[in-house]
Chains A and B, each alone.
Chain A
């Protein structure tokens, strides 16, 4: 029985998983859960992940949520190359440190931009608020400064000389604003260089494949959101 990965490539953590599994030739069944069709809210999907979020994994009777948990599980089960999650304790600690820190920083601020520029307009049927976007971009920039100063510094990757889960989780998050027309890499040469290295390490073709849906996000403007999805999205409207 092959591992099932429940994914929507619009979602950053789903892309991380997709890339990781493909790059490491991990056999899996791609179970498409279309977020904008509200498929994650179905009872059926609820049996895989009661939290009704993607990504999710099903390995026989075992189900798992949370991208970091899934990435680590796959890395252990399929014995992936050491650099993804180094056995050296200090290097590993650095990966853990980034993965922990990013939840409420890179991830949160990156998501905000997508929410403001794409999701809220879809929900309320009006163009996005430029003031809200400006503020969100400012906050992301502040966090990017920390990312560059503390996590990247002058190293090729977050942890030493090779790509790890930290870089993977970071890059998919930072592509989200790019996907809605906010080029956060502009004027950040160090970040651009790091991005090139990460793309190279992943493989340009796979990277493109993972990001195809996102990079065509403008096509989303005509999407009709189903009512149960609209209901669950209303919390996005809270300030």
Chain B
């Protein structure tokens, strides 16, 4: 009885907002592998994340400075507060680190992060390239079509969206040519962390009506395989929020956050 009573307090905590791509990857991975965890819901646009202290001291995404919020989308560091993991005294940020940690600690099936050195290297290769190519690019559509208007009350000209989609198209071409090629998954014949990180990112523009899978049959096929491997129900569950993004326009944005981000966003719009 004592053990049961304390299980929750001692257990794994995952701080997530399913609007965030890397959060979805962590969520899907944990659920798919039946990893027991406490879902700590962080609502990025509602909670006053500016003042919010995340567990532990090692919190790279959290800063009181507004400085790194200037410039491009990638500097939205306040949003990098999620995902975060707390496991006893260990606190961890960065989805890649979290996924790897969970895969080792819970001894998940080999295909997620293969023990074969070359296959593992190919997963590492994708996870590294992903940061500056797919991640960041894929998320911009949401900012342009929904979030910036939400924060600043202004809409952006269509050219801005086109610019962003053109850049994403370049990355998608490389993704298909180098990483996918003619294989069912990025690494061989089974889903891995690479596919998981990629898919959640590529679902982001879908939520705002930019169907990047349209006219890309190879990519579409890969998406279906990934959904199947994850399980359609779990996949849908994880993506429910992003696919119903219009609901966002009704939410009350934390005024402090709005005040903090609005001038930055306005500058980005020029």
Contact = CB atoms under 8 A, between A and B. Distances in A.
B131 A51 contact: no
Interface of A: 50-51, 62, 64-70, 72-73, 76-77, 89-90, 92-94, 96-97, 99-101, 103-104, 108, 138-139, 142-143, 145-146, 150-151, 153
Contact of A96 (B70, B101, B136, B174): B101
Given A51-B178, A69-B128, A77 B60 contact: no
Contact of B118 (A62, A67, A108): A62
Nearest to B90: A90
B165 to A, nearest CB: 16
Given A50-B178, A93-B92, A150-B58, A66 B128 contact: yes
A73 B117 contact: yes
Nearest to B270: A239
Contact of B97 (A70, A72, A97): A97
B128 A68 contact: yes
B167 to A, nearest CB: 10
A89 to B, nearest CB: 6
A73 B132 CA distance: 21
Given A73-B117, A76-B117, A146-B63, A101 B93 contact: yes
A47 to B, nearest CB: 12
Interface stretch (B119-127, B230-238, B248-256): B119-127
Interface string B166-188: 00000000100110000000000
A142 B124 contact: no
Q: Is the interface of A mostly helix, strand, loop or mixed?
A: helix
Given A76-B117, A76-B120, A90-B90, A104 B97 contact: no
Nearest to A103: B131
B60 A104 contact: no
Contact of B67 (A96, A99, A108, A139): A139
B31 interface: no
Given A73-B124, A89-B104, A150 B60 contact: yes
13 contacts: A62-B121, A68-B124, A69-B125, A76-B117, A77-B117, A90-B90, A94-B97, A99-B96, A100-B94, A101-B94, A104-B136, A139-B70, A151-B60
Interface string B84-122: 000000101111111011001100000000000110111
Interface in B42-81: 57-60, 63, 65, 67-68, 70-71, 74-75
Contacts of A96: 94, 96-97, 100-101
Contacts of B63: 142, 145-146
B129 interface: yes
B81 to A, nearest CB: 12
A51 B174 contact: yes
Contacts of A77: 117
B245 to A, nearest CB: 24
A92 B97 CA distance: 9
A171 to B, nearest CB: 18
Contacts of B97: 93-94, 96-97, 99-100
